[in-house]
A = this chain, B = another copy of it.
């Protein structure tokens, strides 16, 4: 059974569970602005004019689209009704709504969940104009909860792809650790990882982040061409890939021994231990039923209690078809995160656990793992880093 068939079947279950009659994903020119939910609905197909993908509680799967897109959707064999139009979608859309008579219509926007917020405001205006004067105008709700459930509850095919993406990332990390040489720049290391992805025929789930030593710039920036690897540097690598559309997101940490050193300086080892302890605290707390922020806070407190500066991001986000998969976030209750840290952890969700401290004169000390929530609690999908990797050059 194709993944699209499985995920649309799952959507029907979730509609029944949430008591929502109809899920409407309304889009246009998806090659230009792509609603992230379309991956579950259409695989890699594009839609050109305004299009409506409809899944109903009663089990119908309906696509309304421009006439030239019809053959693509027919090929998928997932939709029971495919309607192609020429001049306006309005008539066909209203006809389907009149057939289904939904009391609630979940549409593709969400304030706090980027992965459920694919409806543009211009399209929202067009949609509500079409519905003005009908009974449906007042029945629109956000599909946030529906999509959080659909993305969070991985089917086996999805978990398998993530496992494969993790395995490839880990090989990339190991390859890099074996390839570093004194005098290499951050951009040299970046290139090693880009080449690795190319050689393994995968795309990156985000640009790799390389941080060498104490002079590095922390952020989502490109690596520096000036910062050169020397003994006594921490090397932090953030490297994830997509395998058949599913992401991994993993950080590994290395230390280049100084001449004569057999182990890292106390200050470095102790920072690493604190990061380990914080990840363990988060992992211990991560169980079905807890709120996202409750997991974040236990890890955050380990860092603060140890006297380090608090990291200014969430402890963990979900991964899946997107590298930031939305829904429940293991994050602090800050305005920018909206309601996402208040959502509840569910069995089957796959999260990152990631945090950093900074070690003066040595660099950025950060590790990131990928874990799955099971009935019993947190299970590591990545081969957890438990010791600082020492490199002798």
Identify the closest chain B residue to A122 (Cβ).
Answer: B117
A120 touches B (CB below 8 Å): yes
B32 contacts A219, C-beta separation under 8 Å: no
Of A106-114, A174-182, A187-195, A250-258, the one touching chain B: A106-114
- Nearest CB of chain B from residue A7's CB, rounded to whole Å: 18
By a CB distance below 8 angstroms, the chain B residues around A69 are: 219-221
A218 touches B (CB below 8 Å): yes
A221 contacts B124, C-beta separation under 8 Å: no
| Identical copies of this chain, number | 2
Number of A residues with CB within 8 Å of any CB on chain B: 62
A16 touches B (CB below 8 Å): no
Identify the closest chain B residue to A71 (Cβ).
Answer: B221
B221 contacts A114, C-beta separation under 8 Å: no
A118 touches B (CB below 8 Å): yes
Identify the closest chain B residue to A31 (Cβ).
Answer: B206
A contacts with B: majority SS: loop
B313 contacts A115, C-beta separation under 8 Å: no
From the candidates B86, B120, B324, name the one contacting A32 in the complex (CB within 8 A): B324
By a CB distance below 8 angstroms, the chain B residues around A312 are: 67-68, 86-87
- Nearest CB of chain B from residue A56's CB, rounded to whole Å: 22
B335 contacts A114, C-beta separation under 8 Å: no
Of A45-53, A160-168, A285-293, the one touching chain B: A45-53
Write out, one digit per residue, whether chain A residues 331-368 have a CB within 8 A of any chain B CB (1) or not (0): 00011101000000000000000000000000000000
**CA gap between A117 and B32 in the complex, in Å:** 10
**CA gap between A119 and B71 in the complex, in Å:** 30
B33 contacts A114, C-beta separation under 8 Å: yes
A322 touches B (CB below 8 Å): yes
A48 contacts B335, C-beta separation under 8 Å: no
By a CB distance below 8 angstroms, the chain B residues around A206 are: 31, 46
Identify the closest chain B residue to A111 (Cβ).
Answer: B122
